[in-house]
Amino acid sequence: MNTNIEKRTTEELLTFVFDSINKIAGLRSRDRLLPELAKMGRDIVYADRCTIWILNRRTNRLWTKVAQDVEPFEMSADMGLVGCGIEENESLIINDVQSDSRFNSHIDKETGYTTKSMIVIPMENKGGKVIGALQVINKQNGTLFTETDLTHLKLASSYASETLSTILLMEEIEETQRELINIMGVTGENRSKETGLHVKRVAEYSWLLGKLYGLSEEECDVLKDVSPMHDIGKIGIPDAILNKPGRLTEDEMTIMKTHASLGYDILRYSELKLLKAASVVAYEHHEKYDGSGYPNGTKAEDIHIYGRITALADVFDALGSERVYKKAWEDEKIFKLFEEERGKHFDPKLIDLFMKNKNKFLAIRDEFKDAF
Residues serving a catalytic function are 234
Instruction: Provide the CA 294 distance to its chain's centre, in angstroms.
Output: 33
Q: Could you say which of 158, 192, 261, 296 contacts a second copy (CB under 8 A)?
A: 158
147 binds a second copy (CB under 8 A): no
**Interface residues for a second copy in 179-198 (CB under 8 A)?**
179-181, 183-184, 186-187, 190-191
169 binds a second copy (CB under 8 A): yes
Least separation in angstroms between CB 266 and a second copy:
6
Binding-site size, a second copy (CB under 8 A) = 54
Least separation in angstroms between CB 312 and a second copy:
26
172 binds a second copy (CB under 8 A): yes
Q: Which uninterrupted H or E stretch holds 52? A: strand 47-56
159 binds a second copy (CB under 8 A): yes
Whether the Cβ atoms of residue 14 and residue 26 lie closer than 8 Å to each other: no
- Amino acid identity of residue 359, one-letter, is N
Whether the Cβ atoms of residue 130 and residue 122 lie closer than 8 Å to each other: yes
Whether the Cβ atoms of residue 20 and residue 39 lie closer than 8 Å to each other: yes
Applying CB under 8 A, the span of 19-27, 248-256, 310-318, 350-358 interacting with a second copy comes to 19-27
Q: Rounded distance, CA 272 to CA 142, Å?
A: 55
Q: Could you say which of 51, 104, 138, 163 contacts a second copy (CB under 8 A)?
A: 163
The β-bridge relationship of strands 130-139 and 118-124 is antiparallel
66 binds a second copy (CB under 8 A): no
3 binds a second copy (CB under 8 A): no
Composition of the chain by helix, strand, coil, percent to 5: 60, 10, 30
- Positive or negative, the CA dihedral 77, 78, 81, 84 is positive
| Region at 297 (left for phi over 0; alpha for psi -120 to 50; beta for the rest) | left
Q: What is the contact surface with a second copy in residues (CB under 8 A)?
A: 5-6, 8, 10, 13-15, 17-18, 21-22, 25-26, 28, 126, 152, 155-156, 158-159, 162-163, 165-166, 169-170, 172-177, 179-181, 183-184, 186-187, 190-191, 232, 235-236, 238-240, 266-267, 270, 272-275
